Structure 1
Amino acid sequence: MAADIVSKLSGLIKDPELERLDLTLLKPNFFEILGLSHMEIRHSNFLAWILDPHQSHRVGDIFLKWFLKDVFSDQKVTWINEFRVDSLNTDFVTIHREFKSIDLLLETPNFVVIIENKLWSKEHSDQLSRYKAVVEREFPEREHAFVFLTPYAEAPEQDEDRETYVLFNYESIIRILEIIMQTYGQSISDKVSAYIQDYISVVRRYVMQDDEAITIAREIYNNHREALDFIFENKPDRLLEVKQTVEDAVLKAGYVLGSLGKGYARFLTPKLDTVIPKGQDGGWRNGEGFLFEVIYRNKVMTLNCVVSPGPQSSREKMINALKTIDGAKNPKGLKWSSVHSHSHRINVNHEKYDDLGMLAKDIDEMLGKEKAFINEVESVLLKALYDKG
């Protein structure tokens, strides 16, 4: 079995398609460089920019009019049709972002078009009906059109919204942009052209899943399924990679490690280690009644003070003692009670922490900042449990 998988892995790394995929992904893309590919708000910002005929793209109202032709050709818009778009005066068009929470609002002296952009998020709280009411209230003398923009022209959840909102998809956005590039590309500046092409690539890759890189990747997977599945099953686990670094930093600060877990480093001060109840059922592996808890699973690193399940009398003593320290919160859990929580801007997944020495340095600094607080917790718990100063 081992020899067989090694042979399959060897075939994978010798596949020239892998090199082709690598070269495709290495092409610089403005949106990917800035990490904007999956941010819905950034897509709305781009659309606001390209829809606005007064913006720096210098393509005037070309995109705007193509967009309106598509919208106004829908039977849900009864007060105008696509044939009248070319004669529209766009000198006084205004594009609003987040007007009354509406993603995009296109305002003219005669009509208003709203665009609700749902790229990865879902509808909530009857928002489409509310936005329709907002527009009718704020612009009662003007005509209205409502657009629901999604990756694949999905319909709204409510029946009344389906009757009102024109369904629009990102394929249509890309189609219009490609028409502009093919027809007017020579007159568009290199900078704007590159910006638009990058946006087209990002939408094809991340929204529509229709991109050269994805095609190559699927072909490679089909040809090397077993080798790739083996790699996926044995890919590095970042939390396990940094586990030792976090725990070493806790030990270096002079604390005693308690029950551990992936993404959690729990500890006590040496004095508390001798008095905190242990061996309790229903809690951590070692049954501690209380632990400091460093959580590093998320985008921030958090220091919590946690009282675990156990005898109610000792729980109440510890919780009441911790509440005497500034910043205490009322614990919500009946079994697990987190009375204090301090967040620090340490994201172990950030590329700067590929250098584990840098991560260790920042954790040392964090624990240094928390030293006075940890000492105060030690003092009140010692006093509460054993009346020791």
Structure 2
Amino acid sequence: MKPGKTNEQDLTELVLGLKTEIKTQLQPWLSSTNIFDVLGISGAEIRHSNFLAWLLDPSAQPVLKDAMGKQLLLKLVENGQDLPLSPLDIMLGDFSDFTVERERDHMDIFMQSQHERLVSVIENKLFTGQHDDQLNRYRDLALAAAADPQRVVLIYLTVNADDPENTAWLPLAHSDIYQIISELLPQIPAGREKFYMQDYLETLRVNVMNDEELKTTVDTIYSKYKQALDLIIANRPDEATTLHDDVLAALQQLQQTDSRVSMVVTDGGHTYVRFRTPNMDQLFADVLPLTAEMNSWSSGSPYFWQFRKTRGNKLVLELPFRLIDQQLAVVTHINEIFAATKGRPATAKTSWCTLNKKWQVYFVNGNKTPEDIAADDSYTQAEVLQVITDW
């Protein structure tokens, strides 16, 4: 960016420039359709272990046979690890009888070759660490299952080949798995196996490993358009604002097109969106003074349905009342409506009453604010309109 330019000029240059940058530099990371991403499992540790077990199992895919298992052992040797087998033993050995089990005694991957009298265990860690003395327990289980306790290979697979607390385990990185599959791929004929392996490589590169090429590309583009990108980042709407605005727009649309929603109000801080419903007004017509100024918020209503965003990016539907004189009558009426039989007894001094497992009603007095109100049940944004329609 050249000095002295306006924000509008910076943004215009960014938009025009990114059309070329995306097409020429970022397209490899944006255009591919990956089966693991489509299924939503690219970051799931269990699914990674499932796929790795499939690659290692000669009976599951006869195309690779025992090549993946051999290359895995050879990679450990290449990394300087001490194995009970020499490189020649591995290359000339027959591991076609490898049995591969998932979650045997909670071990991620358990492998055994009767012919080579070898037992190997892989503990796969993507985004978690060691816990509960599990490596010691898994080592003992592997030794107990081995025909020869000297021929046991324990592999601790992590993103960065972290050193395990138990030195009996050999560290291995997911980048090593990436390299092994990349080297095997040219030997695989076109077909389902090759397609899956290509997508898995992409998943490892983008979602697991530190993609140095992507980092370099992004750094270059950011440096080139730093001023405009900083302006966008500083003024982008956060999740709370976006969610608040979406709910507000949906309620306002319903208010205009549907008689079941009325009196939509909001605060200026994107904390909540409130609304009333004619059905609710009718239910409380005999006990709720809808125009009593002493018992209402500044908006002139003693109650509201209220949507509020929680820290977990969910919407909580709440039913706050701003009441003084009519509190006991309203509590009694609510319990009758919901047929509540359990929960905290309602008295003139209670600040809340339990309706059922889903609902609690809080009464807001001068010492409470709407932000203090809580409810037991959380609703995702997809459920919001259904809740409104039901009421």
Normalising to structure 1: TM-score of the pair?
0.69
Q: Distance in 2 between matches of 1:212 and 1:341?
A: 45
Aligned-pair distance for 1:235? 2.7
Q: Tell me the equivalent position of 2:246.
A: 242
Q: Tell me the equivalent position of 1:83.
A: 88
Aligned-pair distance for 1:227? 1.3
Instruction: Report the CA distance shift for 1:179/1:74 in structure 2 as closer, same or farther (over 3 A).
Output: closer
State the one-letter code of the partner of 2:55: I
Q: Distance in 2 between matches of 1:75 and 1:289?
A: 73
State the one-letter code of the partner of 1:64: G
Query: Which stretch of structure 1 is more off in the superposition, 320-329 or 198-207?
Result: 320-329
> Alpha-carbon deviations, 1:144-195, whole Å to 9, x = none?
3221111111123x3xx2x12110001211111121124x14xx22443232
Residue from 87, 97, 100 that aligns with 2:102 = 97
Instruction: Report the CA distance shift for 1:212/1:256 in structure 2 as closer, same or farther (over 3 A).
Output: same
1:76 and 1:165 in contact (8 A); partners too: no
- What SS class does the counterpart of residue 83 from structure 1 fall into? helix
Superposed counterparts of 1:1-389, under 5 Å? 3-15=5-17, 16-24=20-28, 25-56=30-61, 58-71=63-76, 77=82, 79-109=84-114, 110-137=117-144, 139=145, 141-143=147-149, 144-156=152-164, 158=165, 161=166, 163-182=167-186, 184-185=187-188, 188-210=189-211, 212-237=213-238, 238-248=242-252, 253-254=260-261, 262=270, 264-266=272-274, 269-270=280-281, 271=284, 274=290, 293-295=306-308, 298=312, 301-304=315-318, 317=346, 322-323=353-354, 325=356, 338=374, 340-341=376-377, 343=379, 346-347=381-382, 363-369=384-390, 371=391
- What SS class does the counterpart of residue 346 from structure 2 fall into? helix
RMSD of the TM alignment (CA)? 4.1
- What SS class does the counterpart of residue 84 from structure 2 fall into? coil
1:95 and 1:107 in contact (8 A); partners too: yes
State the one-letter code of the partner of 1:21: Q
State the one-letter code of the partner of 1:42: R
> Alpha-carbon deviations, 1:277-316, whole Å to 9, x = none?
778xxxxx99x999755355557654356799x9xx9997
- What SS class does the counterpart of residue 53 from structure 1 fall into? coil
1:322 and 1:339 in contact (8 A); partners too: no
State the one-letter code of the partner of 2:193: V
Q: Distance in 2 between matches of 1:14 and 1:366?
A: 44
2:161 and 2:172 in contact (8 A); partners too: yes
State the one-letter code of the partner of 2:101: H
Instruction: Report the CA distance shift for 1:165/1:239 in structure 2 as closer, same or farther (over 3 A).
Output: same
**Rg larger in 1 or in 2?**
2
- What SS class does the counterpart of residue 71 from structure 1 fall into? helix
Query: Which stretch of structure 1 is more off in the superposition, 48-57 or 204-213?
Result: 204-213
- What SS class does the counterpart of residue 41 from structure 2 fall into? coil
1:106 and 1:114 in contact (8 A); partners too: yes
State the one-letter code of the partner of 2:377: S
1:205 and 1:214 in contact (8 A); partners too: no
Instruction: Report the CA distance shift for 1:88/1:301 in structure 2 as closer, same or farther (over 3 A).
Output: farther
> Alpha-carbon deviations, 1:55-108, whole Å to 9, x = none?
236121111110022336677655333331123332321222222332222233
- What SS class does the counterpart of residue 7 from structure 1 fall into? helix
1:44 and 1:104 in contact (8 A); partners too: yes
Q: Distance in 1 between matches of 2:139 and 2:21?
A: 50
Aligned-pair distance for 1:116? 1.4
Aligned-pair distance for 1:324? 5.1
Instruction: Report the CA distance shift for 1:100/1:264 in structure 2 as closer, same or farther (over 3 A).
Output: farther
Q: Which segments of structure 1 move beyond 6 Å, counting only runs of 4 or more?
A: 73-76, 275-279, 288-291, 313-316, 318-321
State the one-letter code of the partner of 2:134: Q
Instruction: Report the CA distance shift for 1:105/1:265 in structure 2 as closer, same or farther (over 3 A).
Output: farther
Q: Tell me the equivalent position of 2:333.
A: none
- What SS class does the counterpart of residue 11 from structure 2 fall into? helix
> Alpha-carbon deviations, 1:329-370, whole Å to 9, x = none?
9x9xxx9675642546x45xxxxxxxxxxxxxx53322334x
Q: Tell me the equivalent position of 1:384.
A: none
Q: Tell me the equivalent position of 1:357.
A: none
Q: Distance in 2 between matches of 1:13 and 1:57?
A: 50
Identity over aligned residues, as a percent? 22
Aligned-pair distance for 1:325? 3.0
State the one-letter code of the partner of 1:56: Q
State the one-letter code of the partner of 2:356: I
Q: Distance in 2 between matches of 1:196 and 1:273?
A: 67
Greater helix proportion:
1
